Structure 1
Amino acid sequence: MAKIIPFKAVRPTRDKVSLLAARSYESYTAMQVESRLRDNPFSFLHIVNPGYKYQKEISGEERYGLVRNRYQEFKEDGIFMQDEKPSFYIYKIVNRDGRKFHGIVAAASVQDYEDDVIKKHEDTLEFREVIFKEYLKTVGFNAEAVLLTYPDNDKLGAIISEIMQTRPEYEFTTTYRDTHYLWNVDESALLEKIQKIYAEMPALYIADGHHRSASSYLLAKDLKVENPQHTGDEPYNYFMSFLIPESDLKIYEFNRLIKDLNGMTKEEFLIKLDEYFRIENRGMDYYKPSKLHHFSMYLDGEFYSLYLRKTKYQINNALDALDTHILYVTILKPLLGIEDLRNDQRIEYAHGKKDLAYVKTVVDSGTFAVGFGLVPVTTAELRQIADEGLKMPPKSTYIEPKLRSGVTVYEF
Structure 2
Amino acid sequence: MAVVRPFKAVRPVPELVAKVASLPYDVMNRKEAGEMAKGNPYSFLRVVRAEIDLPDSVDDYADEVYEKGRERLYSMMDEGVLKQDEKPEFYIYRQIMKGRVQTGLVATVSVDEYLDNTIKKHEFTRKDKEVDRTRHFDVCDAHTEPVFLTYRKQNAVNTLINDFIKFNDPVYDFKTDDGITHIFWVLDDEEVIDKLVAQFEAIPYLYIADGHHRSATSANVGLKRREEYPDSPKGAEFNYFLAVIFPDEDLFIMDYNRVAKDLNGMTADEFLDKLGAIYEIEPVEEAFHPHKKAQMCMYLDGQWYRLTAPKALFEGLDPVSRLDVSILQNNVLTPLLAIDDPRTSDRIDFVGGIRGLDELKRRVDDGWGVAFAMCPTTMDDLLAIADADMIMPPKSTWFEPKLRSGLFVHLISD
User: 3-state SS of the aligned residue for 1:311?
Assistant: helix
- The aligned residue for residue 346 of structure 1 is 347
* Percent pairwise identity: 37
Among 62, 65, 68, the alignment partner of 2:67 is 65
Once the two structures are superposed, residues 224-244 of structure 1 have per-residue CA deviations (whole angstroms, 9 ceiling, x without a partner) of 122132221100000000101
- Secondary structure of 1:129's match? helix
- TM-fit CA distance, 1:203: 0.6
- Residue identity matched to 1:60: A
Q: Flag the 1:76–1:153 CA change in 2: closer, same or farther, 3 A.
A: same
Decide which of 187, 198, 201 is 1:199's aligned counterpart: 201
2:138 maps to 1:150: no
2:80 and 2:368 map into 1 onto residues whose CA distance is 50
Task: Give 2:242's match in structure 1, choosing from 234, 237, 240.
Answer: 240
Query: Partner amino acid for 2:398?
Result: Y
CA 1:294–1:231: 2 relative to 1, 3 Å: same
Pair 1:273–1:91, CA change in 2 (3 A): same
Q: CA deviation at 1:49?
A: 5.7
Counterpart amino acid of 1:400?
E
Relative distance call for 1:257 and 1:48 in structure 2 (3 A) is closer
| Partner Cα separation in structure 1 for residue 288 and residue 32 of structure 2 | 34
CA contact (8 A) 2:180 2:401 kept: no
Please give the secondary structure, in 1, of the residue aligned with 2:326: helix
CA contact (8 A) 1:287 1:304 kept: no
- The whole-number CA distance in structure 2 between the counterparts of 1:265 and 1:30 is 32
TM-score, with structure 1 as normaliser: 0.91
Which ranges of structure 2 fall in alignment gaps of 5 or more residues?
A: none
Deviation (angstroms), 1:404: 1.7
The aligned amino acid for 2:383 is: R
Distance 2:33 2:14 in 1: 23
Counterpart for residue 229 of structure 2: 227
Whole-angstrom CA distance in 1 between matches of 2:301 and 2:56: 44
Decide whether aligned partners of structure 1 residues 168 and 201 sit closer, same or farther in structure 2, where only a CA change above 3 A counts. same
Give the structure 2 partner of residue 299 of structure 1. 300
In 2, Cα distance between equivalents of 1:392 and 1:411: 31
Distance 1:33 1:260 in 2: 27
Aligned residue for 1:123?
124
Partner of 2:334: 333
Tell me the alpha carbon deviations over residues 76-104 of structure 1, each in whole angstroms, 9 at most, x when there is no partner.
22222221221110111123x23222111
Report the Cα distance in structure 2 between the residues aligned to 1:232 and 1:334, rounded to whole angstroms.
Answer: 49
Count, aligned residues: 409
2:13 matched residue in structure 1:
13
Q: Which amino acid aligns with 2:21?
A: A
Cα 1:259–1:216 change in 2 (3 A) is closer
Match of 1:381 in 2: 381
Report if aligned partners of 2:148, 2:245 keep a CA contact under 8 Å in 1.
yes
The AA in structure 1 aligned to 2:293 is L
Superimposed CA distance per residue, residues 285-310 of structure 1 (whole angstroms, 9 cap, x where no aligned partner)? 43442211122223344333222222
- Distance (Å, rounded) in 2 between the aligned partners of 1:28 and 1:256: 16
Mapped to 2, the partners of 1:270 and 1:371 lie a distance apart of 13
Paired residue secondary structure (1:239): strand
Query: Match of 1:159?
Result: 160
Asked if 1 retains the 8 angstrom alpha-carbon contact of 2:284 and 2:304, the reply is: yes
Structure-1 separation of matches of 2:34 and 2:311: 51
Match of 1:190 among 189, 192, 208: 192
SS of 1:104's equivalent in the other structure is strand
Q: Answer yes or no: is 1:42 the counterpart of 2:52.
A: no
Q: CA deviation at 1:40?
A: 2.9
Give the letter aligned to residue 298 of structure 1.
Y
Deviation, 1:313, is 4.4
Partner in structure 1 of residue 86 of structure 2: 84
Unaligned runs of 5+ in 1: none
The equivalent residue for 2:316 is 315
The 1:347/1:29 distance shift into structure 2, 3 A limit, reads: closer
303-312 or 397-406, larger mean C-alpha shift: 303-312
Is residue 104–residue 244 contact of structure 1 (8 Å, CA) maintained in 2?
yes
Q: TM-score, normalised by structure 2?
A: 0.90
Instruction: Determine the C-alpha separation between the residues in 2 that align with 1:255 and 1:394.
Output: 11
SS in structure 2 at match of 1:257: strand
Distance 1:36 1:331 in 2: 36
Q: 1:380 to 1:229 in 2, by over 3 A?
A: same
The match for 1:399 is 399
Paired residue secondary structure (2:225): helix
Cα 1:344–1:56, aligned 2, differ >3 Å: closer, same or farther? closer
Deviates more, 1:223-232 or 1:292-301: 292-301
SS at 1:404's partner residue? coil
**Is structure 2 residue 360 aligned with structure 1 residue 359?**
yes
